[in-house]
Chains A and B, each alone.
Chain A
Amino acid sequence: MPEPLLHLVPKAEAQQTMKDFKSDQEVRWCPGCGDYAVLAAVQGFMPELGLAKENIVFVSGIGCSSRFPYYMNTYGMHSIHGRAPAIATGLATSRRDLSVWVVTGDGDALSIGGNHLIHALRRNVNLKILLFNNRIYGLTKGQYSPTSEVGKITKSTPMGSLDAPFNPVSLALGAEASFVARTVDSDRKHLTEVLRQAADHNGTALVEIYQNCNIFNDGAFEVLKDKDQAKEAVIRLEHGQPIRFGAENEKGVVRDPATGDLRVVTVTAENESRILVHDAHAATPTTAFALSRLADPDTLHQTPIGVFRSVDRPVYDTLMADQLETAVEQHGKGDLGQLLAGNDTWTVVG
C-alpha cells in the first residue's frame, strides 16, 4: 500500500468540534436548500479528520454551491466559473501539506468547467471534488443544466431542452478517475461515509452529491429520498457485498453472459450465486462504468449510490515532487551563478 498522502498534512493539536469549522459569515442559501445539509455534513465530518484547519483549503467556482468556502472556517477561495479544479491544481501541486477540497456544481463542473474537471481527474491531482448536482442552474434562476433530463421545460427551454445529459459518474470514470462516488444530500450518514473514504483516497476523489434545489427543481431526487420509493430506486454499493436492493432485498444485479452488460433480476435460489459482488478496487473501470449506466436518467430508478471505484494509481503531485527531488539528486541543488554563466562565455578586461 502506498503511503497515505493525508500524512503530509499537519494534524490538529487539540480535539476539534463542528463549531470550529463554522465561519462567522451568515449562510445565505435559500431556506430549504440541500446545500445546508451538505455544509452541515462537511462541518461535522472535519473534526473526525483531525487536520490542522489552517492546512485545509476549500476552492470553489461560481454557482449557488460555490459560496460554500465562505461558510467554512478554513482557508478558502471563491474563484470564477468552472476554474476551481485548475486553481486547486496549482495550490495542491505546490503545497502538499494542504488538504485541498473543490466545491462545484453541475453547471460549474460539467458545462463551463468541463475541461478542467476531466484533466484534473486524468492527472489524479490530490483533490477532493464535491460536485453538487441539482440538475438545474440555480444562481442564474432556473435554466436547464448539462445534467438536466432531455425535454426539461425551463426559462431558456420553453419547448423542452434538446441535449442529452451527462452522467457525471460515467464521465468521471471515462476521464480515468481513480475515485468516484455518488451520495445524496439528505442522507447524512451515507454522505459522511463517502466523505471519509474520499478524504482517505490518494489522488482525485470525485463525489457527486445529489442535491435538491427547492426553488427551481424541487423534488428532483425525491424518488431516492422517499422511504418507500427509495427501496426500489436506490442501489447501495458496498465494497465486497453482493449488489442487492428492493423492499425485501429481492432484487440483485447480475452480469448478462450474452452481452457482458449488467442487468437487474429478481433474486432466486438458482441465480443468487450469480449476484455481482461489488469490487470498488477492480483493476479496470468496466464494471463500475456498467453500474453507472444502470440508472434510468428520467426516473432515476435503479440509481447506485456509494463508492463506484477507488483504486490506487500514481498521484500527479507526488510525481511532480519526485521529479524535483530527482533533479537535485542528479544535478545538485541549482546554482544561479552557474546557470547564468552557461558554457559559452568570454571575458572583456578593462
Chain B
Amino acid sequence: MTSQVSSEAGEALLGEQRSAPAKPHHGTEKEVRRLDRVIIRFAGDSGDGMQLTGDRFTSETASFGNDLSTLPNFPAEIRAPAGTLPGVSSFQLHFADHDILTPGDAPNVLVAMNPAALKANIGDVPRGGEIIVNTDEFTKRAMAKVGYATSPLEDGSLDGYRVHPVPLTTLTVEGLKDFGLSRKEAERSKNMFALGLLSWMYHRPTEGTETFLRQKFAKKPQIAEANIVAFRAGWNFGETTEDFAVSYEIAPATRAFPTGTYRNISGNLALSYGLVAASRQADLPLYLGSYPITPASDILHELSRHKNFGVRTFQAEDEIAGIGAALGAAFGGSLAVTTTSGPGVALKSETIGLAVSLELPLLIVDIQRGGPSTGLPTKTEQADLLQAMYGRNGEAPVPIVAPQTPADCFDAAIEAARIALTYRTPVFLLSDGYLANGSEPWRIPDVEELPDLRTLFATGPNHELADGTEVFWPYKRDPETLARPWAVPGTPGLEHRIGGIEKQDGTGNISYDPANHEFMVRTRQAKIDGIDVPDIEVDDPDGARTLVLGWGSTYGPITAAVRRIRRENGHIAQAHLRHLNPFPKNLGEVLKRYEKVVVPEMNLGQLATLVRAKYLVDARSHTQVNGMPFKAEQLAAALKEAIDA
C-alpha cells in the first residue's frame, strides 16, 4: 500500500487517513491513489524561499477546494548562517477532502532542501513517511556543519522512510541553461522546481502559480520565465521519472463547507480586513498608529495599502507614539487602532491606562509571541493574557477578545470594535503568531450582512443645572451601558477638557475627592463588567464529566483532540472562550456542572488562574510553551489522562 498512511489516527470525524485506488490519471500511465488527507512540510535554508513555496502550494490547494490549515515556522533572523540548524525555515500544510482543524501533528511528506533541513525535521516524520531530499546540497562540508559524520542518505539511518533523492539544484540549473543566468541566479529557482514536483504529486492546479510568478516578477520578465520553466520542469520530472511511481488525489472538501464563495486567508490578513470592515460599518475613518514588530507588522503593511478606504496608517517613532497617535485620533472621532506584540504592549501600558481614564474607543491588537522580553519573536505563545488583563497601574479594566482561528480574526476584530465603540473603552484583541501566519479557507461574508457598528457623537447639551442652564457634561453616562458621550472637537458648544487625573463624576472636572474616586473606580469597573457578551456554548453530546476549556488559537488543536477522544468512545465536553474580559455570564455555572475542568494553554496557566480565582473551581492546567501550537495527538493523550484521573 501507499507509504502515506500515517499509523496514528487522523483528527477528523471521517476517520483515519484512507487511501483507495483511483482511476488512472489522464495523460499518464502512472498509478494514481486517492487519499483523504495529507500533511506536507517544506523545509530549507531561510534563504531558500520555503515560505513562498508553502504559500503557493497553499493557494493551489485552496483554489482546488480542499480544506486546509498551515503552519509557517521560521527563524527570527532574516538570513541566519546558511546551512545551519537555526537557519532552517519550514512551512507545513495539512489539506484534506473533509473538515480539518490543525496544520497536523506529523508530516507525511518532508521536502528537505539541505542537510540542516533534514536533520531539524526528520524527528517529526513518522517511519514510512516520504522524504524528498535535494541531494546536491549533501556535500561533506554541509553535512559536517550539522553534525552528520556520514551521509544519512547512504548510511541506512533513513531506512524505514521512503526516500526520493533528487538533485534539485542541478536539475534546476540544467533546465535554465538557455536563460543566460549565472549559476547562482538559476539556483534560486530550485524552490519552484520542488513546488512543481509536489504539484504533480498531488494533482494541484498550476495556472495560479504561473500567473503569480508573472505578476511578482513583472519588472523582470526573464526571472519570471525562469521560475515558470523551473516550476514546469519539476512537474515534468515527477511525471517522467520512475522514482515517482505514484501520484495522489485528494478530492475537494465539498461536504465540509457550507455553500458560499471561499478564499484562503491568514490571521493577520483577516484581522486587517476586519478592521477595514469595522470602519465601514461604523462609518468612521480608520486610523492605525503602529511601530513595526514581529509578528504584527503585516497588519501595518496591509492597512497601508488601503488608503482608498480612507485608512490612515502612521508608522510612529516608537510603540508609545503608535498608541499615542491612535488615542489622539480616537479623540478626534476616528476608529483608532494600534497593533503590536507583547513587548510593545508593555511600552503602551501607560497610554492604555490613559485611554481607560479618558473612556475613548481604541483597539489594541496584540499578536502574541514567545516571551518574556524579546523572547521568541517568530514563535507563538498565549502568555500575554494576564498582561492584557492586569498590566497597568491602578484599577484599569480593559475588555479582551480573542480570535480562535485565522479566519475568525475577521469577526473578532469586528467584535472588538463593537465593544470599543459601544462602551467607549480601549479593547484588547489577543491574537498570536500561529493565527497570524497560519491560514485556512474562509467563507467570504456578504458585506450587507455585517453588523451595524454606527455610534452617535454628542451633538448638544446633556445636562440641566439647578438654575435651568443647559450644559454638556463629558462624564455623564448612558444609564444602560455606562458609556460616556463621545464629543469630538469641532462640535460647537461642547468644548471640554479631559485628562488622566481623576475626574469628577458627570462634569469631568479634576477631582481629588475620596468618595468621588471610589465611585469612579467602581463605575469604570462596572462598565466593563456589564459589557454584553454572548453566553459560552458547550459542546457535550455525551453528558461528559470532564470539560476542556480553551481560549484563542488553541481552538483547532483542542477540537481535534476532542474528536479523537470521542472517536474512541471517550466522553469529554468542550467550551471555548472568545471573551476573556468580561467572561460570559454563564461561565461560572458551566464550570460547576463538571467534575473536572482542564484548561490547555500555551502559557503556564493564565486562564486557569483567572477561572480558579473568579469561580473557585479546581481547574487543571495543561500547558506548553515551546513556541509551537499543541499537537492534537499529544493533547488528546493529556485530556484522556485527565478524564481517567
- Listed in ascending order, the chain A residues whose CB lies under 8 Å from chain B are 10, 23, 25, 52-57, 59, 69-70, 72-80, 83, 86-95, 97-98, 115-116, 119, 320, 323-324, 326-328, 330-334, 336-337, 339-342, 344-350
Contacts and interface: CB of A to CB of B under 8 A. Distances in A.
A115 B317 contact: yes
Interface residues of B, number: 70
Contact of B321 (A56, A69, A119): A119
Interface string B266-308: 0000000100110010000101010000000000000000111
Contacts of B334: 94
Given A70-B510, A79-B500, A339-B306, A59 B328 contact: yes
A348 B254 contact: yes
Contacts of A324: 307-308, 310, 312
Given A95-B333, A333-B308, A86 B328 contact: yes
A97 B314 contact: no
B309 interface: yes
A312 to B, nearest CB: 23
A90 B288 CA distance: 9
B447 A347 contact: no
B526 interface: no
Interface string B146-180: 00000000000000000000000000000000000
Contacts, number: 207
B476 to A, nearest CB: 16
Contacts of B329: 90-91, 93-94
Nearest to A119: B317
Contact of B324 (A74, A86, A97, A349): A86
Given A54-B491, A78-B501, A83-B321, A331 B308 contact: yes
B473 interface: no
B437 interface: no
Given A75-B495, A80-B350, A334 B261 contact: no
A344 B321 contact: no
7 contacts: A79-B327, A91-B328, A95-B489, A333-B309, A339-B273, A339-B309, A348-B262
B257 A348 contact: yes
Contacts of A25: 497, 509-510
Interface string B331-352: 1111010000000000000110
Nearest to B272: A339
A53 B494 CA distance: 10
Contacts of A57: 331, 489
A90 B327 contact: yes
Nearest to B277: A336
A55 B490 contact: yes
Contact of A334 (B64, B309, B489, B495): B309
A181 to B, nearest CB: 24
B499 interface: yes
B63 A54 contact: no
Nearest to B64: A346
Interface string B478-510: 000000000001111111111111000000011
A75 B318 CA distance: 26
A92 B334 CA distance: 12
A70 B325 contact: no
A347 B261 contact: yes
Nearest to B410: A340
B320 interface: yes
Contact of A348 (B260, B312, B354): B260
A257 B320 CA distance: 46
A78 B314 contact: no
A57 B329 CA distance: 12
